[in-house]
Chains A and B, each alone.
Chain A
């Protein structure tokens, strides 16, 4: 607050040039007032007396210059501000505190709940803090200071390029570059707040503390979220540490099993961990086949990105998201202008592409899960999010076998969610038969073609610079890509990155899970290519928000900017659907929590692992808990206690209550089993996956 005001005042100072006019205006008002006063007072003897008195001090009337009035204003503001601040501090603490909503912790404590099972929190991507342990000269004085998260973003403004350099990883190894060591911040502080006032885990921790949790039975499994999962073990022993921590908590809390609460990408990280810990030593943790059954009571996945998120696609493809492309549309030149030498996107993309972990979030399961050119599991989803239309069911039944034309009439442009990237609106709506096929082999042929641009651009920034103009256009030529062909596309535009990252992640569906190749760690974080461990007493929860439009597929265009060192593709934010359409600003929306579509979050719990399947041979119980998004009703609520959005859901009281009940010993059935608002069951049925 204080800083905001100060900034405003700074603005005053800087606009000293303009101040003449401002001052002039304000004093004209004074003048008018003066004239009125004159009439009243001129006849007044009393006033004359005052005037005489005031003339007596022989001070020379100084010039009231512009600068002086500026100073006057600033001084005036300062004084009042200080006065107010002083009063504020004089007030007793209790008087001013915003009446906090009593969280579920207080209520549950009154019900008699106490800490029982130790809790492990696994943060997701981006939210974990990173700190510097060794850096280049430009990062002097930042030793063990936060480079990411925790509100030290001031440094980013001070030396942006330096920070970008330090946060990037080595583009070949996917580990730290030479001479730079950036490590995860350990402990609760690692991810309780992302920025000052922007909570991530803080609310949950606070409520858990109310029923008796503290350092010894609450652990934040911080890890470097930029690295591929296996690399966190290779470089930091993060998995070994997590294993040791869980074993310690299990022992020191009277042999009570642990409740794990992973969030977002932490979900697949923890999946990786579960597989790793039971694998014999050289590659795994050597915990033996019963480790999970012995140590883990429940895995409560919050906003799980089990099958990836489409957001990762646009992020890797053009460093854009829905919001970014909006901003870009509003102020087209700001970000792109080279005058400032910013090239924000290019730099950000360059950094993001060194992060292997983003690749783990690419949609998994290919067309089987995410839909092909003409159909998708979410088909018929109506995007009038303000009020769900009742015609929904009828539409879905109609659509299944309808031809393209008929659909166009019926539902305007119905989303072909399966086409995760399409170039131009036509490519996103036309029936697949009318589209040129996106053949993956075509890429490999063109990719060897001449890169005549390469030398003129100097240092290659992104791998786009190594592509020829011809192949860039080839990629775009009115085509649409599904999740399967998308991977080919990415392999084409960013071969090195994909080669590096695909050594760590896999995005397919296993035909035969007993194939020995699935023992490799690159399959461990893909729920469709691993078996859950043999722990029949364990429980898996999928807890996620619904009711918020979530990015599901994109309409792209070629970027008009054809210079070197620029990204050749952009989300075409001029493309809008008609009212009620899911297409807005070049992005097709589906139901979800703003980041993860329902499909990705819910499918495994709804179908893939439900009952005894080949992915879940021991029949671990799964529960779906959906939380319908409600925006905060008043400002006092902050980010809402019923929010369903990806990060804000960690402040959702219903979700917190569920976690606390399970941590205090309840089972999934006791907290009410499934709680479903979306069409996840119906969607899952449409997915044809051998179980």
Chain B
């Protein structure tokens, strides 16, 4: 640096010799005084030459100054200007539902309990290993993800649970964040509950009448009680809310997995003390006015299968197809997928999302509730016509799609009629025949205990339905499933009075529990429709390598036509991008409708569907009419429904059922004893 400047100096000294002479010659007497001032200035500044370095510095400085100036202007600008600009472009924005309803005279009435779903709740660190020093009380999940993006392996270590117990590993305590901050924003600017909360606040809600039932969404539901007493806390808080609001019952808003969690809670709270909360048989009737399930995966979601099987979903698979080597690269020592899979498989809660009800609900090899039974080609015409007439219900061409086959190995097997498929049983194939190098793999996965023959056997079975998928998972990850099976169950109860159903593992499965005895309660299922939702997958065996996951979604497979439901190896159905309609709507449309054996006291149920409409322009952000799984929480129509119910309206008052899809037709096709 100094060297450069010195060189400049010598340079300038040369020119300077000549400079003053010229100046003096041309100068008038009048200007002499000015010149005396000017000349030395010129000498110093004018004679400097630009080196590249100076240019760079100048440029950076220039940019910086302008940037700061703009920043300064931005900060001094009144906050109303951006809004003003938006108004000018899009015309006056519609009032958010809170403001609108406030003008109508609605005020806070029933206290509101929010139950966040999987992934969206924040987790914070209370005790950690050495690598996480100084991060106590920082968010490990949600928020800005704290400092952990700098140390990914450390993060993985802390966020994973113990593979045997399903609790924290020794020396690590990661706990849910409590309060509304737990799930108002998932990451900065990505709202989850924030919009709902803001609108509730408009009609008078505040901290004392809102409660975020935060829980550790990684744990199995009963374990949240064992470790954190989460269920007891929810019970105590609901009782407090009811007591401080003069006996007004609460309105519960569970979202996503929170739906099942709350189902579990309702069962737990009425079970006598040692195993349950000991609230007595009429606790729910006394404390709960309505449960408004948002994006409810009552019967699970096929997405979880792909996650369990190969830690992929549609988007990840597509990404992998784009840059095949990148994510799998062992060269970089990343092994992202295997790390993620290992982490994911330690989370018991993910088992709750595995499709429930087996083939009865999700369809068998040749039928599924979403499609007309295509026995022969003669039906083709009618099939087309239904699509055209009821067209708004379908998002793609469902002709010939076998949704019942959740996993098929190759497109052919996905389409051929079942009678033509020869399936080989895989369960008896010994798992031995280990890959030679598998012991070197530093990341433990149960796949490494499988040999080539076992992998081949799995692929040879060709097609899996919601029933056989459980066998498959049991086969590829026996330990994992053993742990999961002790906390969750996926069947359909034949006799609900069987004493075995008192066990907590059945509590979160609506097909194996009775609803509480609370005839005044209302159950809503609010969900988005009109988005392609993963419903089935086409898999392939991954090119063999020592330490990789042996199965992959076959992203090269596409449907025949433009609007085929098969794209990139994934069969899509209608839903909210995560939960298919059948899972979200069936219980309220049929399973619990009227007095059934699942709903002995005849709790009223309502289906409210919200048709997805993408945001009109960028300024709307994630849209006020979105139907997507999380963005639905910002849907004005949904918020309005929620506010009205919270302010005291009943399901009939807000208009009863509101259905766009064929959920009632599909439910009829499901043959279940009620």
Contact = CB atoms under 8 A, between A and B. Distances in A.
Given A186-B179, A215-B175, A215-B228, A206 B137 contact: yes
Contact of B44 (A10, A28, A51, A210): A28
A253 B133 CA distance: 27
A244 B237 CA distance: 8
Nearest to B50: A62
B34 interface: no
A61 B243 contact: no
Interface string B187-231: 000000010011001100011100000000000000000001100
Interface in B418-453: none
Interface of B: 5-7, 9-15, 41, 44-50, 54, 56-62, 64-65, 68-69, 72, 75, 79-80, 83, 126-127, 133-134, 136-137, 150-151, 173, 175-176, 178-181, 184, 194, 197-198, 201-202, 206-208, 228-229, 232-233, 236-237, 239-240, 243-244
A133 B201 contact: yes
A458 B175 CA distance: 56
B10 A41 contact: yes
Given A64-B46, A144-B197, A13 B137 contact: no
Contacts of A406: none
Nearest to B47: A61
A76 B80 contact: no
A206 B60 CA distance: 43
Interface residues of A, number: 75
A445 interface: no
Contacts of B56: 75, 79
Given A61-B15, A61-B47, A37 B65 contact: no
A65 B46 CA distance: 7
A237 B46 CA distance: 73
B201 A134 contact: yes
A240 interface: yes
Contacts of A72: 54, 57-58, 61
A499 interface: no
Contacts of A133: 201, 206-207
Interface in A18-53: 23-24, 27-28, 30-31, 33-35, 37-38, 41, 47, 50-51
A70 B136 contact: no
B45 A34 contact: no
14 contacts: A10-B68, A30-B5, A34-B13, A35-B13, A38-B10, A50-B7, A64-B47, A97-B133, A214-B127, A215-B178, A215-B228, A240-B240, A240-B243, A248-B233
Contacts of B127: 209-210, 212, 214
A43 to B, nearest CB: 12
Nearest to A158: B75
A431 interface: no
B contact patch SS: helix
B68 A13 contact: yes
Given A50-B7, A61-B15, A75-B61, A205 B137 contact: yes
Given A31-B44, A236-B208, A37 B134 contact: no
A586 B136 CA distance: 44
A324 interface: no
Interface stretch (A187-195, A467-475, A570-578): A187-195
Given A37-B6, A54-B11, A236-B208, A74 B61 contact: yes
B9 A37 contact: yes
Contact of A75 (B6, B60, B198, B207): B60
A37 B10 contact: yes
A47 B9 CA distance: 12
Nearest to B12: A34
A140 interface: yes
A165 interface: no
B167 to A, nearest CB: 13
B633 to A, nearest CB: 16
Which one of B12, B57, B150, B176 has the greatest number of beta carbons of chain A within 10 Å?
B57
A63 B46 contact: yes
Contacts of A516: none
A161 interface: no
A63 B208 contact: no
Contact of A192 (B48, B61, B137): B137
A100 interface: yes
Nearest to A54: B11
B7 A54 contact: yes
A480 B197 CA distance: 54
A216 B197 CA distance: 24
B183 to A, nearest CB: 13
